[in-house]
Chain A
Amino acid sequence: MSARRRMRLDNAGTDLPVLLPGAERLADRARRDRLVGTMPRLHWTHGAVLAGLIVLWAGMAEAQTGAAEPGVFDALFRWMPLLLEGFGFNILISFMSMAIGTAVGVALGLGQISLLAPVRGSSWLVTQFFRNAPWLVLLFFVMFMMPFEFVVFGTVIPFPDWIKATIGLALPVMANVSEIVRGAVMSVPSGQWESSESLAFNRRQTLFMIILPQCIKRMIPPWMNLYAILTMATVLASIVGVSEMMTLTRRALAAEQNAFTLLVPFYGFVLLCFFAYCYPIARFTLYLERRYHVIT
C-alpha cells in the first residue's frame, strides 16, 4: 500500500470537536470513547438503588392500602409472566438487530477502508449519517417507510411491526459496527501492511489473514458494549406499537386502573430486568477490555 493511500485513510477523522484532547487524560478518554462509544456505563449501584426503591415503595404502598385491597406484590406477581414474556421479545429484537447490524456493519466498515474512492466515500457517508441520527427517528422512519406486507408472485408476505422495528434498530447498530471495524483496522500498525505486502500477500489476503485476525480481540469489547446499549434501546419499539415489555407494562397498568401505587413497582421491575441482563454484559466487557489492554 502506498503512503498516499494510507494517509487518506488516516484522515477520515470523524470525532466531534468536544472530543479533542486538551490534556493527556482527555486524550486517553477520547481514544477510549472512539473505541467504545460515549455511552454511560452501568454500575452495580444502579441496580441496588432500583431494587431498594421498589421494595421501599411497595412497603409504603402496602402500609397505606391496608389488608383489604390486593397488595402491590400480588399484582406484580400476577403480571410477571406476561411482562417477562415481553422482555423475551425485547431480547429477541436485540439479537436480530445485532445480527443484521453486525453483518451489514462489517461490510460497511470494510467499505470505509476500500481503495476505491467512491466505495470509501459512500460507506463513510452512510456510516456517519446513521451514526449521528437519533435512534428513535430512524425507528419511526423505517416504520412508516416500509409496507406492512410484501406481495411476491401473488403470495402475500406479512411484514409485522416488530420486524420493522428490528430493521430500524439495526441501522444505528450497523453504523456503529462500521466505525468499530474501521477503528480496529486503523489501529493496526502500518508495518503489518508493509511486511505483508513485501511477502507478496495481496490486499485482500492481508486484510483477512493478517489484519482482521489481529483486531477481533479489540473489536469484541466495544461490540458488546454496543449490544448492551441496543438492548436498552429496544424499549423504543413500544413507541411504535410493538408488544414488547414496555407496551405490555402499560397495558397491565391500564388493566389495573393505572393504580398510582403500582406505577413505580411495575416500571421499576422493567428497569430491574434490563439491569439484570445488561449489567453482566457491561462487567464482562470491562473485563475483556482490561484483559486485551484495549484501554491502557
Chain B
Amino acid sequence: MAQPVLAKETVDQPEAAWTPDRPIVEITDVHKAFGPVEVLKGVSLDVMKGDVVCIIGPSGSGKSTLLRCINALVDIQKGSIRVEGQEVHVPKLDKLALRKKVGMVFQQYNLFPHKTALDNVMMAPLKVLKQDRRDVEGRARELLAKVRLTGKEASYPGELSGGQQQRVAIARSLAMGPDVMLFDEVTAALDPETVKEVLVTIRQLAEEGMTCMLVTHEMGFAREIADHIYFTDHGRIVEHGPPAEFFQNAQDPRTKEFLSQIL
C-alpha cells in the first residue's frame, strides 16, 4: 500500500560506508501520525554501537511507535531514521537487509504456537535467509542454551511459562544475527518472579556488547543497565541523560512527576 512519502530535505543521497564511530541508530526529527493523531512530534536520538538505551515515559507517549519505526513496522511522515548509515524512510527500502540488522522482541512474546521452541528459533534463518539446516539447528540449540532453555527445545510455546516464552522469543530474534535489539516492554506481561530471568538474559546480552534499545517500566533495571535514558511524553523527548544524572536531578516537571509516581 502507501509507501512512505519522502520529505524534500531527506532525499536519498549516496552514503559513505558506515563506520562504528558514527551512531548505529540515528533518529532525526521523526514525525509520525496515525490519521489526525500525531504520535511522534519530532523525535531525535542517536545510539552508538554497544550502547544500551532505555526509553521510559507514560502510557501512550509513543514509545512503542518509536521502536516500530526503527525496523519499519510502521512508516513515518517526516524525518530520517538511519540504521548503520542506511536510511529506513525511503520508498525502495531493502526490508530484508534492515530486519537482519534489527531484531525486535514484543511484550506478548508472539511465538509461533504451532512450532516447537527450536523450530521457532530456526524458522527465520531457514526460510528467510535460506541457510543450511544443520548450521541453523546447531546455532539455534546454542542460542536456546544461552537463554538457559536447554531441554525445552521440543516444547511448544503453550507448554512454556511466560518467562520461558519470552526467552525463546529473544533467542528467535538473535538467530537472525542482528546488530541492534529492540525490546518493547518485554517484561510487562510477566509475573514478578519471572521478570528477573528475562532481565538476566537481557543484561547478559548487553554485557556482550549488543546494542539494545529498551522500552521499560523497570526503573531499577534501567538505572543499572542503561548508558542513556530518554523520557518521552506526548510524542516528544522531554528529558534525557545518563542514569545517575537522570534519576537524581531531573529538571522537567513532567519527568519529576512521572518518577515520583513510579519510584
Contact = CB atoms under 8 A, between A and B. Distances in A.
Given A195-B169, A198-B102, 19 more contacts: A2-B75, A3-B34, A191-B106, A191-B108, A194-B73, A194-B106, A194-B110, A198-B104, A198-B173, A199-B172, A199-B173, A199-B176, A200-B99, A200-B129, A201-B124, A201-B127, A201-B128, A202-B95, A205-B127
A219 B191 CA distance: 34
A2 B74 contact: yes
B1 interface: yes
A205 B128 CA distance: 8
Given A199-B173, A214-B113, A209 B99 contact: no
A285 B115 CA distance: 25
Contacts of B129: 200
Contacts of A210: 112
Contacts of A199: 99, 123-124, 128, 172-173, 176
A33 to B, nearest CB: 25
B79 interface: no
Contact of B73 (A115, A192, A198, A214): A198
Contacts of A198: 71, 73, 99, 102-104, 173
A200 B106 contact: no
6 contacts: A2-B73, A192-B110, A194-B110, A197-B99, A200-B95, A200-B99
For chain A, give the interface size range. 20 to 34
B236 interface: no
Q: Which DSSP category, helix, strand, loop or mixed, fits chain A's interface?
A: helix
Nearest to B100: A200
Interface in B36-90: 71, 73-75
For chain B, give the interface size range. 20 to 34
Most A CB within 10 A of own CB, among B1, B102, B176: B1
Interface of A: 2-5, 115, 189, 191-192, 194-195, 197-202, 205, 209-210, 213-214
A197 B100 CA distance: 11
A195 B105 CA distance: 8
A197 B114 contact: no
Interface of B: 1-2, 34, 71, 73-75, 95-96, 99-100, 102-104, 106, 108, 110-114, 123-124, 127-129, 169, 172-173, 176
A189 B1 CA distance: 21
A198 B108 CA distance: 14
Contacts of A5: 1
Contact of B114 (A115, A189, A191, A214): A214
B4 to A, nearest CB: 10
A121 B219 CA distance: 48
A78 B100 CA distance: 73
